[in-house]
Amino acid sequence: MGSADREYFRQTTTRPPGRLAGAPVVKWLLILNIGVFFIDILYDGGLGNWGAYSVDTGIRHGQIWRLITFQFLHGNFGHLLFNMIALYFFGAFVEQHWRSRGFLVFYLLCGMAGAAAYSGLHLAGLYRDPGIVGASAGIFGILAVAALIAPNMQVRLLLPPVTLTMKQLALVLLAIGALVVIVGGRNAGGEAGHLGGALAGFLLFKIPVLRAMLERLSQGGTRPKSRKLIQVRDLRKRRYEKKLRPKSRVSREDASEVDRILDKINQHGLQSLTEEERELLTRAGRK
């Protein structure tokens, strides 16, 4: 696809895409979290008895589903509000990096890592086991990856009214969480979950094997066809391509990836690109 064919190079009167454009997982996470919160109000907090995570219920009684369900429950409206604001502003940015399928696995794994960190703190005898709820661990994983992808991206906070870079915001929040855990503050277990989610996000982004796993999920995860069939189809395509248009030195897979990168630049700016994406864009420009 040529640059002139792309949507944002055309003169149009249509509205620009919203923040959640291209981020269906974040959209559904917002809907589910808000919906579950109000359903829980109707049941007078009864969903927490079934879905909240604690070491006693989740590990000792083998109710492992709580590793997932606690991520969709919230203790009060303020808890829900701050988590959903963070998910809305930063979740779509990270989802467009991982793609939707990989992002969903990434988000849930970060949440489970938060539960593991909470469990470790309790089993070490440093904190009692009141149980945890909330999407915070997954969101801290999102914040960690956003800080790695675009460390210099400007973030304006309402309370306090300051502007920080993405990296500075992540470091401040992690420092607060670590301090609460060290001094044994009232929410030390919850902050341990935040740190666990952030650590999981960092490792999933930085460790090549884990990152490749998420990238394979993002690309569809379909089972590869036999090499012979692929070779035959490639030969047929090459014959027709020679007749219909000049041979291109950019593969279809690379062209699709370049389109995704250009969409990302249009929505989040050049600073949001990773080193791999910058290199691919440079290579494509030379061909």
Tell me: the pLDDT tens digits for 90-124?
998 899 888 889 999 999 999 999 999 999 988 88
Model confidence, pTM:
0.72
pLDDT tier at 134, thresholds 50, 70, 90: very high
Residue 205: its H or E element: helix 188-206
Which comes out higher in pLDDT, residue 7 or 263?
263
Is the separation of the CB atoms in 258 and 284 below 8 Å? Answer: yes
Q: What is the DSSP letter of 245?
A: S
Is the separation of the CB atoms in 180 and 194 below 8 Å? Answer: no
| % of the chain at pLDDT higher than 70 | 77
Tell me: the pLDDT tens digits for 254-276?
677 777 777 777 666 666 677 77
Is the separation of the CB atoms in 95 and 23 below 8 Å? Answer: yes
Tell me: the pLDDT tens digits for 139-154?
999 999 999 999 999 9
- pLDDT average, residue stretch 204-222: 82
Domains in the chain: boundaries: 24-218, 226-286
pLDDT at 96: 84
**How far is it, in rounded angstroms, from Cα 75 to Cα 196?**
20
Q: What is the DSSP letter of 71?
A: G
pLDDT at 194: 95
pLDDT tier at 14, thresholds 50, 70, 90: low
Q: In the CATH hierarchy, which top-level class contains the domain 24-218?
A: mainly alpha
| % of the chain at pLDDT higher than 90 | 49
Answer yes or no: is pLDDT of 138 > 90: yes
Q: Any residues with CB less than 8 A from the CB of 107 and at least 6 apart, and which?
A: 25, 29, 91, 138, 141, 142
The two tokens of residue 5 are 């064919």
**How far is it, in rounded angstroms, from Cα 18 to Cα 55?**
40
Is the separation of the CB atoms in 74 and 134 below 8 Å? Answer: yes
Answer yes or no: is pLDDT of 234 > 60: no
Tell me which residue of 162, 190, 164 sits closest to 177, measured CA to CA: 190
pLDDT tier at 16, thresholds 50, 70, 90: low
